[in-house]
Amino acid sequence: MSDTPEGRPRVTRTRALVAVVTCLVVVGLLGLGVHADFAPQMDLDGAVSEAVYVGDDRAVSLNWLLEALTTPGGSAFRLVVFLAVLAWLIRRRHWPVALWVLAAVAVVGPVNSLLKELFGRVRPDFDQGGARLDSLSYPSGHSSGIATLATVALVLAWPVLAPHARRLWLSLGVAAVFMVGLTRMLLGVHFLSDVVGGWALGVAWSLGVALAFDALPGGRGALPAREARPIADESSR
């Protein structure tokens, strides 16, 4: 049944819903561990932070590189990227698509901030300094931001990408998400569970909004499917 045109959107929605629920469970369990100072989680976070933090005496060039690599997770970067996307969608009169993209990108930041206030985790504190930021730590806003950016971009572009291009852009998206999360720990501003929780939040929020707006491939809120050339038919002639 899932091979029929009618079955594909239904299978896609089911998988997306499973992913949303799974990611929300991850966010909740890690958040409860933070709130309760769950010893195994705290020990792992501390060990990873001490192992990967590059220190306050890092070279200026390395600091510049890390700051550049972590930028795609920031709200300003998302704003610049998706203002251009929204302008294109509005110009093409893809109103439902523009609406769900706006909801996904614009609201993830406030949702992340509410969760930070709820769990109230302070930033990593190192003996030899550290970033010592005043803002709270769990979940990582940069990690949720880049996960949202990548997920929304993939869901949005999936119907118009060729199969080989889908694999390429999926790989690039995963690499970008991993890169930003790693830089947050290298800079000493987040624990491992902050990063993982942020990733899970970004994926859950993006797919959840896409489900609510029926924006997954084949849905009313998705871009029209790419007109593929019937290569198989031509080769069989």
Give the pLDDT confidence of 167-194 residue by residue, as tens digits: 999 999 999 999 999 999 999 899 999 9
Determine how many CB atoms are found less than 10 A away from the CB of residue 202: 32
112 exposed, middle or buried (CB, 10 Å; 0-12, 13-18, 19+)? buried
Beta bridge partners of 129: 126
pLDDT of residue 236: 40
234, pLDDT greater than 60: no
Put simply, whether the predicted model's pTM sits higher than 0.75 gets the answer: yes
Mean of per-residue pLDDT scores for the chain: 87
229, pLDDT greater than 80: no
Q: pLDDT band at 233, cuts 50/70/90?
A: very low
pLDDT of residue 130: 58
